[in-house]
Chains A and B, each alone.
Chain A
Amino acid sequence: MTRIDPGRWQELSPLLDEVLELAGEERRAWLEALRATRPEAAAELEALLLELQSLDAAGFLQSDDLQRYLRVALDLLVTRGRDESGT
């Protein structure tokens, strides 16, 4: 699996911007064109796009669990504040 260090990310990020705007045949054609000149980058992008598909399917960072969690955290703030103020 590809590793991404910050330098590599800077290189891939603008390419991701482009390819994420395309779908279907357009995306395939774009990747093929890139592969002709930068095969390594094209392969990495393909892997990242596949990964994004699996993240969407798995709902990664998309559930409302965090918002529920946040509400509980806010309650904790109130609890702590009360303790600190001695009331």
Chain B
Amino acid sequence: MSQNLEVAVPQQSHQQLFVALYDELRRLAQRKLRQGGAAHAMGATTLLHEVYLTVHARDGVVFPDHARFLAYASRAMRGLIIDYARSRQALKRGAGFEITSLPTEIPEQMVDSSDLQRLNDAVERLALADARLAEVVDLKYFGGFSFAEIAAMWDMSERTVQRDWEKARIFLHKCLAGNELSS
């Protein structure tokens, strides 16, 4: 299938695509494990690229462009991390599970799911105020992409992406510090 069949994603299907991406991330992680490697060994960025190739090859079309896909996938990674934090928090509260069966190599200060939830809420607020800045946060912080990679994706200068990142951090910090009130 060499011809370009890429089409724009209808607005109403964004949620479905998000769910599909999330699901695909999980499938790919399982596949990697079966192949004998830990899923995490490949890193978030490689994982997201592979998910793109898989979804693209299987379904033919999905996203108008690679960059758009990676932005969504990075957002899915954010959801995944929040889910993980919640699960771990539930286990820590003493549910009758074998806690040692879950990985524990996490810095304690990052374990608090309420902190991550607040960060998540702040990113959602940022998305309302400035969608591109929120995408930079998802790509950089949750997707693990470098400034240079994001700049290449968006065909803009690396300095512009860096500046967006600086602005995003200011906005997020104000949210987290309780210094802002959005309507």
Contacts and interface: CB of A to CB of B under 8 A. Distances in A.
Interface in B84-104: 84-85, 87-88, 101-104
Interface residues of A, number: 38
B101 A79 contact: yes
A52 B101 CA distance: 40
B103 A76 contact: yes
A82 B30 contact: yes
Interface in B30-64: 30, 32-33, 38-40, 43-44, 47
Interface string A61-73: 1000111111111
A50 to B, nearest CB: 10
Contacts of A73: 80-81, 83-84
B141 interface: yes
Interface stretch (B7-15, B21-29, B65-73, B147-155): B21-29
A74 B166 contact: no
Given A4-B174, A6-B183, A76-B84, A81 B40 contact: no
A78 B35 CA distance: 12
Nearest to B47: A74
Interface size class of B (residues with CB under 8 A): 35 or more
A17 B142 contact: no
Contacts of A26: none
B129 A10 contact: yes
Nearest to B27: A81
Say what secondary structure dominates the interface of chain A: helix
A10 B128 CA distance: 11
Interface string A1-44: 11111100110010011001100000000000000000000000
B118 interface: no
B39 A77 contact: yes
Most buried by B among A48, A68, A75, A78: A78
Interface in B130-183: 130, 137, 141-142, 144, 159, 163, 166-167, 169-174, 179-183
B154 to A, nearest CB: 15
Contact of A81 (B30, B43, B101, B183): B30
29 contacts: A3-B181, A4-B180, A5-B181, A9-B171, A16-B170, A20-B166, A21-B163, A51-B170, A52-B170, A60-B169, A65-B109, A66-B81, A68-B110, A69-B81, A69-B84, A70-B81, A70-B144, A71-B43, A72-B40, A72-B106, A74-B29, A74-B47, A76-B103, A77-B25, A77-B29, A77-B39, A78-B30, A78-B32, A79-B102
